[in-house]
């Protein structure tokens, strides 16, 4: 009992379904580190410190994707773009997994909220491209169960450190972690690992996927080269048939999609070249030119063209003043404790944000199926029913205030008819409140009330008439 350390993890013969692990890590001024290796605590305050460090250029966030069966590893720097950074990371991981060519897939991720949320996004993006996608997580606080992904961070760290020190020794300058050269270097490190490191079977990770060796010439990262213009097309002869056929550029990596070299021009444009020519070794590195690099992998990704349509100017009617100053009551509030007690709704963006960060996001609403499920659960408890009764009273007061304000406005206008006595018979259909939205799709408070219509045995909320 006192000396037992548990059963050792035995090496298995592999899985018939390919496993692909994903994880986040960080490049800081102190080196390449995983989340638990940072000085920030594993809570919301720690996440705020990390976000501040990323904005100040003290660290960059990176995504790692590693196939356990083929040993291919991919890494990308994630830009600081708020909520969009998750979409960008998911798209990058999806592109890597599609290149692997697996028809079935197991996505292995640890139990961090950010990584689990990313795994769900990737599964949705893969869609029909992969026949079967499964999510798999290791036991809590057991990093060894995800060792196939952890080793990816280790090998990338070693190659990244080697190539970065080599480049800094050649240009006699220090490269900060937030410089665009770091972004291209990280992806180039993975390309070197995939195309040059051989396993026990004598094959590289590239050859296990492609079925052939990588035949492109290996170049030093960020060296100055001459790249050849294409022989056909609009870019084949920009200066006519008497212009130069070879132009200056900086090598930053290889393109998996086109098997070509990626070259940055002095104008900070990325071009794909089939053939390049190396300069003499004394002229291959220029610190001043590298300092001017501003292009990043995400700044050159393809974007859909923006369609702009112009119309003739029309006279805009001046906005009318609000007929009723009494505000519409807000929708019934679903708290974080409610989600912890009744669970998160799949597909609800607000639930996904709460599950990841432990708080709600301003301006983002729960979906209608989510609201109906939570309200239905609240009616089953006394505490929840008490909250619903309190909300009902609030809505009733708002309705009464609206009616009173409407009567005052009609009386001040001088043309309004007197209201009939309370005991008078009125066979006319109910009149909607002026200024109050009558479309349930635009009034969440009304939708919450209408949800309970027809179920008097479970509660006594009335419907807004």
Q: What is the pLDDT of residues 131-182, one digit of tens each?
A: 788 888 776 656 566 788 889 999 999 999 999 999 999 999 999 999 999 9
Q: Which of 58, 131, 54, 123 is nearest to 93 (CA)?
A: 123
Mean pLDDT value of segment 235-263: 86
User: Is residue 344 predicted with pLDDT exceeding 90?
Assistant: no
Q: What is the mean pLDDT of the chain?
A: 79
Local confidence band at 333 (pLDDT 50, 70, 90 cut-offs) = confident
> Does the pLDDT of residue 316 top 80, yes or no?
no
- Region of residue 222 (phi > 0: left; psi between -120 and 50: alpha; otherwise: beta): left
For residue 422, pLDDT beyond 50: no
Distance CA 34, CA 198 (A): 26
**The tokens of 15 are what?**
């899985």
Q: What is the pLDDT of residue 404?
A: 81
What are the tokens at 144? Answer: 């060894």
Those residues with Cβ within 8 angstroms of residue 196's Cβ, 6 or more apart along the chain or in another chain = 204, 214, 218
Position with higher pLDDT, 217 vs 310: 217
Burial (0-12, 13-18, 19+ Cβ within 10 Å), 418: exposed
* pLDDT above 60: residue 216: yes
pTM value is: 0.64
| Contact in structure between 355 and 338 (CB atoms under 8 Å) | no
| Dihedral sign of CA atoms 198, 199, 201, 205 in order | negative
Among 3-7, 61-65, 343-347, 394-398, top mean pLDDT goes to 61-65
Per-residue pLDDT for 459 more than 80? no
What pLDDT, on a 0 to 100 scale, did the predictor assign at position 465? 33
CB proximity list for 261: less than 8 A, separation 6 or greater: 216, 219, 225, 227, 251, 253, 254, 255, 272, 273, 274, 276
Q: How far apart are CA 333 and CA 327, in angstroms?
A: 16
| pLDDT value of residue 313 | 52
Q: What is the CATH number assigned to the segment(s) 19-196?
A: 3.30.420.10
Nearest to 453 by CA among 333, 365, 372, 377: 372
Helix (H) or strand (E) holding 255: strand 246-255
Among 265, 286, 291, 292, smallest CA distance to 276 is for: 265
Strands (E), 39-175: 59-67, 73-78, 104-108, 132-136
Whether 279 shows a pLDDT value over 90: the answer reads: yes
Compute the distance between CA of residue 344 and CA of residue 370 in angstroms, rounded to an integer: 8
Strand order in the sheet with 260-264: 270-273, 260-264, 246-255, 224-228, 276-278
| pLDDT band with cut points at 50, 70 and 90 for residue 257 | confident
Q: What is the pLDDT of residue 72?
A: 95
Contact 26, 39 (CB under 8 A): no
Domain with CATH 2.30.30 in the chain: 216-291
Phi, psi of 391 (to 5 degrees): -65, -35
* CA separation, residue 345 to residues 134, 352, 368, 369 (Å): 19, 8, 11, 8
261 Cα distance to chain centroid: 28
pLDDT band of residue 437 (cuts 50, 70, 90) is: very low
Closest CA to 199 of 365, 6, 68, 81: 68
Separation between Cα atoms, residue 245 and residue 169, nearest integer Å: 32
Q: CATH 3.30.420.10 spans which residues of the chain?
A: 19-196
pLDDT for res 112: 79
Q: How confident is the model at residue 64 (pLDDT cuts 50, 70, 90)?
A: very high
**Phi, psi for 271 (deg, rounded to 5):** -125, 150
Q: How far apart are CA 243 and CA 237, in angstroms?
A: 7
Residue 440 in this model has a pLDDT that exceeds 50: no
CA distance 421 to 348: 48
What pLDDT score was predicted for residue 203?
94
321: pLDDT strictly greater than 70 = no
Whole-number pLDDT of residue 193? 95
CA distance 233 to 270: 17
CATH entry, 216-291, from 1.10.10, 2.20.28, 1.10.490, 2.30.30: 2.30.30
Contact 66, 156 (CB under 8 A): no
Q: Take residue 186 and report the two structure tokens written for it.
A: 């990280």
Phi and psi at 347, nearest 5°, equal 90, -5
pLDDT tens digits for range 349-375: 888 888 777 778 877 888 888 888 888
Q: Report which secondary-structure segment, H or E, holds 261.
A: strand 260-264
Contact 284, 278 (CB under 8 A): yes
How far out from the chain centre does Cα 387 lie? 35
């Amino acid at each position: 009992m006192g000396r037992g350390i548990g059963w050792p993890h035995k090496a298995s013969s592999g899985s018939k379904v390919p496993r692909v692990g994903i994880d986040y890590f960080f490049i800081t001024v102190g080196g390449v580190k995983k989340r638990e290796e940072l000085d920030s605590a594993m809570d919301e305050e720690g996440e705020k410190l990390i976000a501040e460090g990323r904005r100040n250029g003290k660290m960059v966030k990176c995504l790692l994707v590693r196939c356990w069966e083929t040993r291919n590893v991919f890494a990308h720097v994630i830009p600081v773009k708020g909520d969009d950074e998750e979409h960008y990371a998911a798209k990058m991981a999806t592109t890597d997994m599609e290149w692997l060519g697996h028809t079935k897939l197991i996505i292995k991720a640890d139990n961090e909220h950010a990584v689990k949320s990313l795994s769900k996004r990737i599964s949705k993006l893969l869609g029909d491209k992969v026949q079967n996608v499964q999510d798999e997580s290791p036991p809590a606080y057991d990093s060894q169960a995800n060792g196939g992904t952890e080793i990816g961070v280790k090998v990338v760290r070693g190659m990244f450190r080697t190539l970065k020190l080599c480049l800094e020794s050649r240009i006699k300058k220090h490269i900060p972690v937030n410089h665009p050269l770091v972004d291209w270097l990280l992806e180039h490190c993975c390309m070197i690992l995939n195309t040059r490191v051989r396993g026990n079977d004598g094959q590289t990770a590239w050859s296990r996927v492609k079925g052939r060796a990588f035949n492109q010439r290996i170049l030093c990262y960020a060296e100055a080269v001459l790249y050849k213009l294409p022989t056909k097309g609009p870019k084949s002869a920009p200066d006519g048939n008497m212009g130069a056929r070879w132009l200056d550029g900086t090598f930053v990596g290889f393109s998996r999609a086109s098997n070509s070299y990626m070259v940055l021009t002095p104008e900070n444009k990325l071009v794909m070249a089939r053939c390049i020519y190396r300069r003499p070794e004394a002229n291959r590195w220029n610190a001043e030119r590298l300092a001017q690099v501003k292009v990043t992998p995400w700044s050159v990704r393809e974007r859909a063209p923006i369609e702009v349509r112009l119309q003739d100017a029309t006279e805009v009617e001046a906005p009318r003043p609000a007929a009723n100053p009494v505000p519409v009551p807000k929708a019934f509030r679903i708290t974080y404790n409610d989600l912890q007690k009744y669970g998160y709704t799949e597909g609800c963006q607000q639930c996904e944000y709460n599950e990841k960060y432990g708080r709600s996001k301003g301006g983002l609403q729960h979906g209608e199926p989510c609201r109906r499920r939570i309200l239905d659960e609240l009616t089953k408890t006394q505490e929840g029913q008490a909250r619903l009764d309190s909300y009902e009273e609030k809505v009733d007061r708002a309705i009464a205030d609206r009616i009173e304000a409407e009567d005052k406005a009609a009386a001040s206008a001088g043309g309004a008819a007197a209201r009939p006595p309370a005991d008078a018979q009125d066979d006319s259909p109910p009149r909607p409140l002026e200024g109050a939205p009558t479309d349930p799709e635009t009034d969440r408070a009304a939708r919450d009330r209408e949800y309970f219509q027809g179920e008097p045995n479970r509660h006594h909320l009335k419907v807004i008439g």
